[in-house]
Amino acid sequence: MKVSFFPGCSLEGTAREYGESIEAVCNAIDIELQELSGWNCCGASSAHATNEFLSIALPARNLSIAEKAERDLVTPCAACYSRFKTAEKALTGESPVDVEIPFKGEINILHMLEFLCREEFAEAIGRNITTPLHKVKAVSYYGCLLVRPPGVTHAEHCEDPGGLDTLIAKLGGESVFWPYKTECCGGSLVLTRVDIIHRLNSRLLDMAREAGADCIVTACPLCQANLDTRQEEIGAGKGIKYNLPIFYFTELMGLAFGNQGVDKWFGRHFVDPRPLLEAKQLL
């Protein structure tokens, strides 16, 4: 299967392991990602706060390119996904916004998690599992942008999504229940309001530990970066040590598939997940 792919800005920098694991997983299950030709930044996360026209025009240009290619558009970033869905609604709603960029809404816009959780890939995913993730107890963290606002994302279960939970179980892990799967981590406030970031992420880390999880699994570069990079300073301020690995869901898919690149991916994490995986005899 071929789909148009919008990588966004983070896959070549802070989220390289996400990009590499996506490529490995898609190759394994025969998905061909066609990078969108001549794509531009979608405007996340500042355009909507500074320039209303650009907040629609920037993602609209990418949507127009994807529509001309006549393939559905898949993106791995929750912020990019949110901007695309917002632009789609603005361009095709009852009172369309005119940014002089053609887009009819004839393609589907999908987040990578939503795409890979389609039933049509279930058999291929199961067939590729060589190292079931037995004994891994994970909480699924969707964050806020994958499912909200429901009038834009059209998420069926915006308060209690289940795709990631089902995927973790399919990979052989245990998806641990917790009520914080769609809580906000602070996202774009990471450089401007560190106090808010600390408060929000501290609660998420505390609740994941209280639920008995070994790790947190996410599908958003912003969420992963916030939870991974801030643990040491948050813990130091509270006199505790979290040491809670934060995985991209595609990294765990690659691990279950027996991909040889996993050590490189995990080596880029601030909280090294390899001791946990070695203790569970998965590495």
List, for residues 33-55, the tens digit of each pLDDT value. Answer: 999 999 999 988 676 777 889 99
CATH number of 2-114: 3.40.50
Do the first three CATH levels of 2-114 and 130-279 match, i.e. the same topology?
yes
Q: Are the CB atoms for 164 and 220 separated by under 8 Å?
A: no
- Backbone dihedral region of 70: left (phi > 0), alpha (psi from -120 to 50 degrees) or beta? left
The mean predicted confidence, pLDDT, of the chain is 94
The whole-angstrom separation of Cα 249 and Cα 230 is: 20
pLDDT of 68 = 97
Question: Which helix (H) or strand (E) covers residue 149, if one does?
Answer: none
Q: pLDDT category, 94, cuts 50, 70, 90? A: confident
Q: List the chain domain ranges.
A: 2-114, 130-279
How far apart are alpha carbons 201 and 209 in whole angstroms?
12
Question: CA distances (Å), 245 to each of 3, 22, 142, 166, in order?
Answer: 31, 19, 16, 20
**Buried b vs exposed e over 208-239: b needs ≥16 C-beta within 10 Å?**
bbebebbbbbbbbbbbbbbbbbbbeebbeeee
CATH 3.40.50.11810 matches 130-279: yes
pLDDT digits 0-9 by tens, 169-221: 999 999 999 999 999 999 878 777 889 999 999 999 999 999 999 999 999 99
Q: Is the dihedral of CA 82, 88, 93, 96 positive or negative?
A: positive
- Is 177 exposed, middle or buried (CB count within 10 Å of its CB: 0-12, 13-18, 19+)? exposed
Taking residue 26's Cβ as centre, other Cβ atoms within 10 Å add up to 22
Terminus-to-terminus CA distance in the chain, angstroms?
A: 31
